[in-house]
Amino acid sequence: MRSDQLGQLILTGVPGTELDAESAALFRRVQPGGYILFGRNITGAAQLRRLIDDLRDLSEVEPIITIDQEGGRVSRLRLIGNEPPNAQQLREKGDLSLVREHGRLTGRLLRLFGFNLDLCPVLDLSFDDDADNSLRGRCYGGNVDEVVRLAGSFNDAMHDEGVLSCGKHFPGYSCASVDAHHDLPRIDRSRADLEAEELAVFRRFAKRVESMMICHGWYPSFDPEKLPASLSPTVITQLLREDVGFEGLVMTDDLDMGAIYNEYGLEDTIRMAITAGNDLAMICHRIDAIGTARETLTQLPAKHLDRALDSVTRFKSVMSPPHDFSEGAFRALDEEVWKLRVAVLGEERAAERSAEDGKRSPVETY
């Protein structure tokens, strides 16, 4: 076990728009494996690149720098630029070339700011486009082939620009009846039903995405006793790693979401997450607790820690460095995002939706 590297198993949020001395000291001491940024971290294009450069500068090992940049309401960069169309809007338009353009622009924007991983594509099927479980507007299709075709086109185009991807939310969150930001949903899907639909998509992406995110849902077909998939050895090790054969990086969804926070203490959460088979534990809001999280890792069996550290190292070996930044380059790409939006929605609807979305407070985690 490489005890001095255990911070590499933590993916942490960042408290503000610039690094204060206390946060910088904490990050320097813990050496997190990666950082996830949200709307609270973004006020301008140059400011965002400066923050990311600062995070990279204090890291002894090149960090994962990630964000949720899907399209629609789950687009952190819409705070400083145009909002790309969401997956459902692209699906309804039915033009694969526009999906590829969305992937291309997303990749180029993220490389410009210094991100090396995008937490997408969403691989969940949409059984109900109006379901109130946080997936509204975010799903590429209602059947396996449609999701594979559209999400795959986005994924491949983004890859071509040098940004790695994350399939979510394994093993399939579509039938969740409540939002895991608040409570743990019970998902009563049989193994046969999951295999025919949700898992069929993830199996086809097992070699196409570099990472997978495990959702906070309880699946009685896998774990008869109440247990979130994100903390389940059955779901992560037996199903995803051994059965599906996924060999990439595995991460939890945000461990600060109500589905986990209301059920488990921090130490138990970290212990369960890593021993279940995750490589990264995501802590988006309790940033001051990452020192405790790292200390908890020192108490875990070496076999789990070595496995996770090896996985993080392999993932980082294929990350791409940032592009050179300029405000002009950002504005040019942002104009292309607007043109894509108009091509998908039409100019009048694109403008109306931008005004409407601007009135909404962005949800911080998905």
What are the structural domains, with CATH classification, of the chain?
14-356 (3.20.20.300)
pLDDT digits (tens, 9 = 90+) for 233-286: 999 999 999 999 999 999 999 999 988 999 999 999 999 999 999 999 999 999
Q: Specify whether the CB–CB gap between 72 and 106 falls below 8 A.
A: no
Which residue, 166, 282, 148, 168, is CA-closest to 214? 168
**172/174 Cα distance (integer angstroms):** 6
CB-count exposure of residue 163 (10 Å: 0-12, 13-18, 19+): buried
Q: Where are the alpha helices (DSSP H) in 38-86?
A: 45-57
Q: What share of the chain has pLDDT > 70, as a percent?
A: 96
**364/4 Cα distance (integer angstroms):** 31
* Kind and range of the H or E run holding 186: none
Judged by DSSP in three states, 137 sits in coil
| Max Cα–Cα distance, the chain, nearest Å | 58
Tokens of 266: 């921090």
**Phi–psi pair at 118, nearest 5 degrees:** -110, 130
Q: Name the pLDDT band for 359 (thresholds 50, 70, 90).
A: very low
User: What pLDDT sits at residue 358?
Assistant: 47
Q: 172-176, 311-315, 335-339: which has the minimum mean pLDDT?
A: 172-176
> Is 366's pLDDT higher than 90?
no
Q: Name the pLDDT band for 176 (thresholds 50, 70, 90).
A: confident
For residue 58, how many C-alpha atoms fall within 13 Å in the half-sphere facing its CB? 22
Residues labelled as active-site residues:
181, 253
Tokens of 262: 């209301």
Tokens of 197: 């639909």
- The reported pTM is 0.96
Q: Specify whether the CB–CB gap between 174 and 124 falls below 8 A.
A: yes
Q: Specify whether the CB–CB gap between 150 and 172 falls below 8 A.
A: no
Matching residue, tokens 């996924």: 246
Which residue, 349, 365, 46, is CA-closest to 357? 349
pLDDT, mean of residues 51-59:
98
Q: Specify whether the CB–CB gap between 198 and 152 falls below 8 A.
A: no
Tokens of 4: 């001095």
End-to-end alpha carbon distance in the chain = 32
pLDDT digits (tens, 9 = 90+) for 278-324: 999 999 999 999 999 999 999 999 999 999 999 999 999 999 999 99
Burial 264-285 (b: 16+ CB within 10 A, else e): bebeebbbbbbbbbbbbbbbbb
